[in-house]
């Protein structure tokens, strides 16, 4: 009997095509939004989790100063592909209209705590923040102090005045230590030299330039530039990471962004040295930490020490030991494990996903109200038809079921189409949003739960929206219904 | 036998009470062509609705074959309509988006019978009213007479014990109307109770049993010999 009612409901939908499609459209929009946001949100979470897994949960970061997790998360954000701080170098000449050379700096995720800050200063057209030089950890000593640690390296970041002779401004200078490059090359993304070479020694003032910096500053291999009034020689230019085919290729190889660094330092390092992160390599300069500590003083923003815990050691106990070591070195810093950072970022992403899904759900509810309106109108329009059905023996329950199937079907059709459209949009959204979300390329997650949930929910939404109209229809007096015009 | 015993029906129209039937008692036998006549507002349609379990009386009782229809709940009344009653209305009351065949099959489909069986029975019923070649037409593509014949086919499809027709020729020309009446009268041969409600005295002349209503009361009740 239900099958017969199903066919009748389908007939009703077909006979009111325009209105049915408009109603379905309302549900479709809501479902599309929900599917796209949930699948992208889940995809981002999976991608982030994957990045942390790639980095490894045996890593402990020692973030500079502050209270810990926020700092470390900021540090991690800075190291995650595509995330973190952005620095732009440009002319500080009077030609402010030169759009190709904006001079801005957003301290972003790599700020140190306020009690350590100097007052920010603002130049014409330029925002930058100078910081006190932090008391850096001696990583070799740290390895001795904390036997659970098997590797340690330093990654510094500075904002420095850069002068090429024709152009000047402030630019981010990333300062990975040799230890860092040696120990963590496999866990942090990377970059690729397109011209010249990578660092060959720690005694000369060498700089490797990001692709966009090189282009904007018109730098070539062998050029000399001044960083904080100290002369440096450009020895390499990195390949661009601007979402191009190369970046995608890299992503396909399992590196979420950045490029593989295929130059050795002449120190026995892997030729496939990769440094994931250091983020936004296009706009940065790279100087070995060992040189930076000698040649570049002042304006040090932050230095993150990254350590690896030996297999089987307790992360918590190791953190405690690191804290003791930091005190003994009279240095500053807060250890935080990758797990803690991951948990915090996951929590934030989940919250964002919930908020976005809630907003999308509102669209879905609006679609449901539209469906209810359509069904209510249909009851009014089909009053005589209801009377006919009752006169030929339809029970109240059958009339109600007929309308419920009618509205449920529209909900289900809207759900199916919304699922398809949402999937397509999430695929497109992935390509568009991936780089800006800081997770590079990722895949939206559309699993059986999402598909089943959406279909069931959209049918129930349709059916529930039709409950009241259907109930009204079922309660109509057949004599009055037959008399309706 | 359809028996109405001291049946009254009162409608509430705003603050006014309308007494459609006032203590009507009547017996209508099967295998007869019964006609209820009366002017508008006389209560004849109300009587038909009560007889067909579309409505319940305010007072009194309606019984059919010993079954007190007045005491049935909504579901039982629906089941009674589905199995024992076939309605024919002045406005045909066909479902616009269904074909002639689907309209006729509707009562059977609602009983849960298979689509195949429903179509077969509907086809038989349509052939009975000479519409076997119009099965896939929607009501809008059929003439008034054809629509009324579809309605009659639908009324017959369940093999009901009584056919209740409310002004079945009201929207038809006289020739088509005569054809419909002949069709309806023929059903009494199948031992069916055929009850026609009309204000047309010409139909009254064809009745085996003629009941005249006026202001909710029986004005006259006659049974006459009618040539078959």
**Interval A1-30: pLDDT, tens:** 566 788 888 888 888 888 888 888 888 988
Q: B83 to chain A: nearest residue by CA?
A: A393
Per-residue confidence at A261, pLDDT binned at 50, 70, 90?
A: very low
Nearest to A462 by CA among A26, A32, A16, A35: A26
| Range from A376-385, B16-25, B134-143, B151-160 carrying the lowest mean pLDDT | A376-385
How far away is chain A from the Cα of B228, in angstroms, using its nearest Cα?
Answer: 29
Closest C-alpha to B106, from B91, B125, B134: B125
A24-55 per-position pLDDT tens digit: 888 898 889 888 888 888 888 888 888 788 77
CB A89 within 8 A of CB A207: no
**Are B82 and A393 a contacting pair at CB < 8 A?**
yes
As given in the structure block, the two tokens for residue A244 are 């191009």
Residue B118 distance to chain A (closest CA, Å): 10
Question: Are A28 and A20 spatial neighbours (Cβ–Cβ below 8 Å)?
Answer: no
Contact call for residues A436 and A340 (beta carbons, < 8 A): no
| Closest residue in chain B to residue A396, using alpha carbons only | B75
The answer to whether the CB atoms of A392 and B49 lie below 8 A apart is: no
Instruction: Specify the pTM.
Output: 0.64
User: Is the CB of residue B162 less than 8 Å from the CB of residue B138?
Assistant: no
Indicate the helix (H) or strand (E) that contains B46: helix B44-51
Q: Looking at the complex, report in whole angstroms how far the Cα of residue A457 sits from the nearest Cα belonging to chain B.
A: 28
Nearest neighbour of B106 by CB, restricted to A392, A477, A478: A392
Q: What value does the mean pLDDT take over residues A62-81?
A: 52
Check residue A87 and give its pLDDT.
34
Q: Which residues of A touch B105 (CB under 8 A)?
A: none
Q: What spatial distance separates the first Cα and last Cα of chain A, rounded to whole Å?
A: 29
Q: Residue A297: which pLDDT band, with cuts at 50, 70 and 90?
A: low
Residue B227, pLDDT > 90, answer: no
Rounded mean pLDDT, A161-168:
84
CB B4 within 8 Å of CB B25: yes
State the maximum Cα–Cα separation within chain B, in Å, rounded to a whole number: 51
Residue A248 confidence (pLDDT): 36
Residue among A4, A389, A391 whose CB faces B54 most closely: A391
Interface touch A391/B81, C-beta < 8 Å: yes
Over 90: is that where the pLDDT of B211 sits?
Answer: yes
Number of C-alpha atoms within 13 angstroms, CB side, residue A106?
A: 10
User: Which chain B residue shows the shortest CA-CA distance from A5?
Assistant: B110
Average pLDDT over residues A192-219: 83
Nearest CA to B70 among B57, B80, B81? B57
Q: Check CB contact of A15 with chain B, cutoff 8 Å.
A: yes
Residues of B with CB under 8 A from a CB of A: 49, 52, 54-55, 74-75, 78-79, 81-83, 87, 89, 93-98, 102, 106-107, 109-112, 115, 118, 154, 158
Q: CB distance B83–A393 less than 8 Å? A: yes
Q: Which residues pair with B217 in a beta bridge?
A: B214
Q: Is the dihedral of CA B126, B128, B131, B132 positive or negative?
A: positive
Q: Name the pairing type of β-strands A86-87 and B2-13.
A: unpaired
Q: Nearest by CB to A392, which of B75, B97, B154?
A: B154
CB contact under 8 A, B109 and A4: yes
Winning range, highest mean pLDDT, from A293-297, A436-440, B29-33: B29-33
Compute the average pLDDT of residues A479-484: 86
| Contact check, Cβ <8 Å, A391/B94 | no
Nearest CA in chain A to B81: A393
Contacts A–B by Cβ distance under 8 A? 75
Closest CA to A38 of A355, A369, A251: A355
Q: What gap in Å lies between CA A17 and CA A8, rounded to an integer? A: 14
pLDDT average, residue stretch A120-126: 36
What per-residue confidence (pLDDT) applies to B228? 45
A412 CA to chain B: closest CA distance, Å? 22
B-chain residues within 8 Å CB-CB of A4? 109-110, 112, 115, 118
Region B95-120 average pLDDT: 90
What is the model's pLDDT at position A301? Answer: 56
Minimal C-alpha gap between B164 and chain A (Å): 11
Please answer yes or no on whether B95 and A4 come within 8 Å at the CB atom: no
The predicted pLDDT at position B60 comes to 94
CB A375 within 8 A of CB A470: yes
Q: Where does the pLDDT of residue A242 fall: very low under 50, low under 70, confident under 90, or very high at 90 and above?
A: low
pLDDT mean over A380-397: 89
Instruction: Say whether pLDDT at B129 is over 80.
Output: yes
Site from A18, A390, A392, A482 to mutate, B interface, most B CB atoms within 10 angstroms? A392
Could you tell me the pLDDT band of residue A118, with boundaries at 50, 70 and 90?
Answer: very low
> Which residue among B87, B118, B158 places its CB closest to the CB of A391?
B87
Positive or negative, the CA dihedral A453, A458, A460, A464 is positive
Mutate to test the interface with B, among A8, A393, A406 (most CBs of B within 10 A): A393
Q: Taking residues B108-131, what's their average pLDDT? A: 89
Q: Provide the shortest C-alpha distance from residue B224 to chain A (in Å).
A: 31
- Average pLDDT over chain A reads 72
Closest Cα in chain A, distance from residue B110 (Å): 6
How many residues comprise chain A? 485
Q: Do B136 and B59 form a contact (C-beta atoms < 8 A)?
A: no
What pLDDT score does A264 carry?
28
- How far is A466 from A403, CA to CA, in rounded Å? 7
The DSSP secondary structure of A254-279, one letter per residue, reads T--SB-B-----SSS--TT-B---S-
Provide the b/e sequence for A98-124 (b: ≥16 CB within 10 Å): eeebbbebebbbbbbeeeebeeeeeee
Measured between beta carbons, the chain B residues lying within 8 angstroms of A7 are: 109, 115
pLDDT value, residue B128? 85
Search chain A and give the residue with CA nearest B102.
Answer: A8
What is the structure's pLDDT at A3? 61
**A4 contact B CB<8A:** yes
Round to whole Å and give the CA distance between A72 and A80: 12
pLDDT in tens, A403-441: 888 888 888 999 999 999 999 998 888 877 766 665 556
Contacts of B125 (CB under 8 A, 6+ apart): B104, B153, B154, B156, B157
In this predicted complex, what is the ipTM?
A: 0.92
Q: Is A289 exposed, middle or buried (0-12, 13-18, 19+ CB in 10 A)?
A: buried
Contacts of A387 in chain B (CB under 8 A): 93
| Helix-strand-coil split of chain A, %, nearest 5 | 50, 15, 30
To the nearest whole Å, the CA of B226 is away from the closest chain A CA by 30
Average pLDDT over residues A105-122: 33
What one-character DSSP code corresponds to residue A111? Answer: P
User: Is residue A302 within 8 Å of A42, Cβ to Cβ?
Assistant: no
- Over residues B191-198, the mean pLDDT reads 91
The segment with the largest mean pLDDT, out of A104-113, A270-279, A454-463, is: A454-463
Residue bearing the bigger pLDDT, A269 or A80: A80
- Distance from the Cα of B166 to chain A's closest Cα (Å) equals 12
- What are the distances in angstroms from CA A400 to CA A403, B54, B102, B115, B165? 5, 18, 20, 21, 27
The phi and psi torsions of A81 (rounded to 5 degrees) equal -55, 130
A contact test, residue of B92, B95, B151 with most A CBs within 10 A: B95
Any chain B CB within 8 A of the CB of A394? yes
**Selected residue of B13, B40, B80, B97 to mutate for chain A interface (largest A Cβ count, 10 A):** B97
CB contact (8 A) between residue B95 and residue A385: yes
Please give the pLDDT value at position B77. Answer: 93
Predicted pLDDT at B213:
93
Q: Which of the four pLDDT bands, split at 50, 70 and 90, describes residue B57?
A: very high
């Amino acid at each position: 009997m239900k099958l017969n009612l199903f066919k009748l409901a389908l007939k009703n939908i077909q006979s009111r095509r325009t209105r049915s499609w408009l109603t379905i459209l309302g549900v479709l929009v809501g479902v599309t939004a929900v599917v796209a946001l949930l699948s992208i949100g889940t995809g981002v979470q999976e991608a982030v989790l994957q990045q942390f897994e790639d980095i490894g949960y045996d890593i402990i970061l020692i973030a500079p100063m502050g209270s810990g997790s926020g700092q470390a998360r900021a540090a991690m954000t800075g190291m995650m592909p595509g995330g973190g701080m952005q620095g732009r170098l440009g002319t500080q000449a009077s030609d402010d209209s030169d759009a190709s050379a904006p001079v801005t700096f957003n301290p972003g995720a790599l700020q140190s705590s306020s009690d350590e800050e100097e007052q920010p200063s603002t130049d014409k057209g330029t925002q930058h923040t100078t910081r006190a030089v932090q008391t850096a950890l001696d990583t070799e000593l740290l390895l001795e102090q904390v036997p659970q640690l098997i590797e340690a390296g330093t990654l510094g970041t500075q904002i420095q005045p850069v002068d090429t002779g024709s152009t000047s401004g402030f630019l981010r200078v990333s300062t990975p230590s040799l230890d860092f490059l040696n120990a963590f090359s496999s866990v942090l993304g990377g970059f690729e030299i397109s011209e010249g070479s990578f660092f060959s020694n720690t005694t000369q003032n060498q700089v490797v330039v990001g692709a966009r910096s090189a282009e904007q500053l018109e730098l070539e291999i062998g050029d000399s530039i001044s960083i904080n009034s100290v002369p440096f020689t450009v020895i390499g230019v990195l390949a661009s990471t601007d979402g191009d085919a190369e970046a995608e290729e890299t992503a396909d190889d399992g590196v979420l962004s950045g490029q593989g660094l295929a130059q050795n330092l002449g120190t026995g390092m892997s030729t496939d040295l990769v440094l994931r992160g250091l983020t936004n390599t296009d706009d940065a300069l790279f100087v070995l930490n060992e040189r930076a500590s000698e040649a570049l003083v002042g304006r040090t923003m932050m230095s993150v020490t990254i350590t690896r815990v030996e297999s089987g050691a307790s992360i918590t106990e190791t953190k405690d030991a690191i804290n003791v070591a930091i005190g003994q070195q009279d240095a500053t810093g807060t250890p935080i494990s990758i797990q803690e950072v991951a948990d915090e970022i996951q929590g934030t992403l989940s919250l964002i996903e919930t908020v976005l899904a809630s907003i999308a759900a509102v669209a879905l509810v609006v679609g449901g109200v539209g469906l209810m309106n359509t069904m209510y109108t249909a009851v009014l329009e089909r009053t005589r038809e209801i009377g006919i059905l009752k006169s030929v023996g339809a029970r109240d329950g059958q009339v109600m079921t007929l309308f419920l199937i009618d509205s449920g079907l529209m909900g289900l059709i809207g759900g199916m189409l919304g699922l398809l459209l949402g999937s397509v949009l999430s695929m497109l959204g992935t390509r568009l949003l991936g780089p800006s979300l800081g997770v590079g390329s990722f895949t939206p997650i559309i699993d059986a739960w999402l598909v089943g949930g959406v279909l069931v929910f959209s049918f129930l939404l349709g059916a529930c929206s039709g409950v009241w109209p259907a109930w009204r229809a079922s309660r109509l007096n057949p004599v009055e219904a037959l008399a309706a015009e | 036998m359809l028996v109405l015993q001291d049946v009254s029906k009162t409608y509430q129209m705003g603050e006014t009470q309308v007494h459609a039937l006032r203590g009507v008692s009547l017996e209508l036998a099967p295998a007869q062509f019964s006609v209820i006549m009366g002017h508008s507002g006389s209560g004849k349609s109300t009587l038909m609705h009560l007889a067909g379990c579309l409505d319940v009386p305010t007072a009194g009782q309606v019984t059919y074959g010993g079954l007190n229809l007045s005491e049935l709940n909504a579901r039982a009344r629906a089941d009674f309509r589905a199995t024992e009653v076939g309605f024919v209305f002045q406005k045909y009351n066909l479902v616009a988006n269904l074909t002639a065949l689907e309209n006729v099959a509707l009562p059977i489909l609602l009983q849960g019978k298979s689509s195949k069986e429903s179509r077969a029975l509907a086809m038989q019923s349509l052939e009975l009213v000479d519409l076997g070649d119009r099965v896939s037409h929607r009501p809008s593509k059929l003439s008034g007479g054809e629509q009324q014949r579809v309605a009659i086919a639908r009324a017959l499809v369940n093999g009901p014990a009584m056919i209740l027709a409310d002004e079945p020729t009201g929207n038809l020309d006289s020739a088509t109307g005569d054809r419909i009446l002949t069709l309806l009268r023929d059903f009494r041969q199948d031992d069916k109770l055929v009850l026609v409600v009309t204000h047309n005295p010409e139909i009254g002349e064809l009745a085996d049993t003629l009941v005249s209503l006026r202001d909710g009361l029986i004005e006259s009740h006659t049974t006459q010999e009618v040539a078959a």
